[in-house]
Amino acid sequence: MHFKLELAISWLDILKFKKFNVDIQILFRDIVVEILVNSWLPYKKYNLYFGKQDKIANQLESLSLSNEDIETQSNRQGAFKENLRSIIATQDLSDIEKYLKRYVPFRLISPFLKEKLEGIDIDHGVDREIPRIAIEEFDRLKPLYCFDIPDSRKFTAIIVHPDWAKYIENNYSIVRNWACWEWLQYMQSCNPQVEVTPQKIFLTKD
């Protein structure tokens, strides 16, 4: 659940940065970078727990950077979030990218493809079939996005459906606020011993 929320928030941010231009593919690696950027504050500064299936914390620990380094550079250059993003983008993210590719981008759009997924085992066949189905049914079923190639292991980018890009552009604040609210509730459930506030989980410096 939480990986889907992190993915949703991150690709929404990237889509806005790209001015909702569907002619520009969104690299999956860029989404991974954004997920790590968005996870930095709650984990590194507030020591919040992401859940027992989480792999994000391990990846953040493995990165060759410290909060002090980022703060120092940002104080000189400004734009904390932008600076954090550029630093994380230089790291080796192959392990976390491979892990997130296992199911996260497919489960987010599976409700749109329900009629074509009937009879396919959710644990063994769905993730393998979704990239192909999403591409083949892109115009008819209109999932949020499809993939650059119909291979669940080798795809490198997602292609946002133009109808959804337009809808999100017109309703960006509502959609993102909903996703952020769900993320806040999830984080509170994982950290019942502390009060989880928006200031603890969302970077506001751009």
Per-residue pLDDT of 116-141, as tens digits, reads 998 877 666 788 899 999 999 999 99
Q: Which residues contact 77 (CB under 8 A, 6 or more apart)?
A: 83
What is the C-alpha end-to-end distance of the chain, expressed in Å? 27
Helix axes 172-190, 162-170, angle to 10 degrees: 80
How does the average pLDDT of the chain come out, rounded? 87
Please calculate the CA angle 26-70-72 and round it to the nearest 5 degrees. 145
* Contact (CB, 8 A) for 158 and 133: no
- What's the pLDDT score for residue 80? 78
pTM of the model as a whole: 0.89
* Contact (CB, 8 A) for 5 and 183: yes
The 8-class DSSP code of residue 110 comes to G
